[in-house]
Amino acid sequence: MEQSRQALVRHVTRRPSFEPAICPLIFSTSTTIIRQQQRHGPLVAHDGSQHYPAPGDGRPSLALPGDGIRFEQTYWHYFLGLRMAYELGRHLKEASRVKLFMQFDWAYVDGNNEDRHLLRVGDRRTYENTRGDAWHALLGLNVGITDSINLNLAVDYLKIQSTGSHRLVNHAFDIDFTFDHGVKVWSQQTSINVNVEYLF
């Protein structure tokens, strides 16, 4: 009985295992957790026009010559996502130094907007304080040009959507009120990034 058990143990320990060459690692993945601030402005709208899109409102558009609105927007993003990389050289000799990388993220968003209406009488300002979420995606290539130089190409997309409150203030007319019906702030951003890495 003891000899049979030892023979079984020897048989199990000698079973062949999978080698990395047979099952190569195709994707490398990592989790991303990022806190990011995105700030736009201050921006100033110049020589604009105001339209009245409400149903039944037949008023013509109103020209706004000169500086019209001073705008400032700040978003805080709290991202959680996944980053992946794929080594093309594992299967294509012609692409021995080419890496495909992708990133997908979701974020909780805390947004603040401030508009100063420069053409209004008094000091008229509006504020939006909103909460919502954002979706981010990135797709890119890392290409080895020489032994010490890499070229990176990436397309980046970000969509932000939030709801909250709108406040209107103009102390010259004793105006200060807030409402939260129909308040929506959103942004869609697409960018193409190109950069060169030099390896020391």
Residue 35 lies in a domain: yes
Residue 103 lies in a domain: yes
Look at the chain and report how many structural domains it folds into.
1
Residue 11 lies in a domain: no
Chain segment 177-200, per-residue pLDDT in tens:
999 888 888 889 999 999 998 888
Length of the chain: 200
Chain segment 115-140, per-residue pLDDT in tens:
999 998 999 999 999 999 999 999 99
Residue 3 lies in a domain: no
CATH code where residue 48 lies: 2.40.160
Are the CB atoms for 156 and 124 separated by under 8 Å? no
Q: What is the pTM of this model?
A: 0.67
Residue 37 lies in a domain: yes
Average pLDDT for 37-44: 79
- Distances, alpha carbon 2 to alpha carbons 9, 15, 126, 145, in Å: 11, 20, 86, 63
Burial 84-111 (b: 16+ CB within 10 A, else e): ebebbeeeeeebeebbebbbebebebbb
Residue 7 lies in a domain: no
